[in-house]
Amino acid sequence: MQREKLDLTEKDGYDALKGHVYERALTARQRYGPDFDEQAIRGMLRDAEVVRFPTELVFDDAGLMPGEFAWPRPKGERPTDGYQLVVHPYFAGRWEVLALLVAYQVPAINYLDVATHEEAELFGATLLGMDVEAYYERICRLADSIPGAPAHDPMLASRFEEAMAGATGSATETSGGCGKPGCGGGSCS
C-alpha cells in the first residue's frame, strides 16, 4: 500500500519551523526558567535538546560590529564543531538581561541560515514569557545601550540579514543586533 503524497508548501515548512522554535523555547523555559541566572543560562546552552550544537558563552567584543550585542562564532568548519556565543563585555555579569540577548542568538545556532529575526524574536519571547513586540523593544533598548552604539542608520543592513541573503550553510555571520531589516548592526528604531 502506497502512502498518499503530501503536497506541502513553503508556508507549511515555515509553520513547522515556527512550531519547532516555539517547542524548543518552551522546553528551555520549563527546564531553566522562568528566572534565568548564570547557572540557568549556561545550562541551557549545554542542553542539546534546546541548543542543537555545543555552545559556550564568551564575553568579548572581537568580531562584533559597533552596537552589536552578540553573535555565534563558529569553533570550526562544521556546525557540529560548536560555537562560542560571543556577547559584548558591556553585559558581562548582567545576568538579569543576558537571557534576552542569549535567547535571540539560539535560532541562528539551531537553524543556521534558515533562521531570521522572526524566529529569534519568537524564541526569546517564548523563553521569557513575553509578548514578541515587547521582547523586540527590550532587545533594541539593550543594543542601543552599549557605549558607542551607532545611531540608527536605515541604510545599514544587519549582519543577520546579510547572512540570510548570502547564506553558506553556517551561522558564521549571524547578527547580534535586533535582526530586523534596516536595523543598523544593533541599533533599533
Residue 10 forms part of a structural domain? no
Q: Which pLDDT value is given to residue 125?
A: 97
Task: Give the pLDDT score at 188.
Answer: 55
Q: How many domains does the chain have?
A: 1
Report, as ranges of residue numbers, the positions in the chain whose pLDDT lies below 70. Answer: 1, 151-189
The answer as to whether 81 is a domain residue is: yes
In this prediction, residue 184 carries a pLDDT of: 41
Expressed as residue numbers, the domain containing 161 is 15-165
Q: Would you say residue 42 lies in a domain?
A: yes
In a domain, 123, yes or no: yes
Give the model confidence (pLDDT) of 95-147 as tens digits.
989 999 999 999 999 999 899 999 999 999 999 999 999 999 999 999 999 98
Burial class of residue 78 (count of CB atoms within 10 Å of its CB; 0-12, 13-18, 19+): exposed
70-74 vs 55-59, strand pairing mode: unpaired
1/152 Cα distance (integer angstroms): 59
Peptide bond into 34 cis (omega under 30): yes
| Dihedral over Cα of 109, 107, 156, 147: its sign | negative
Q: Please report where in the chains the cell 503524497 appears, as a residue.
A: 5
What's the confidence (pLDDT) of residue 178? 52
Which residue's entry shows cell 564568551? 58
126, part of any domain: yes
DSSP H or E stretch at residue 40 = helix 38-46
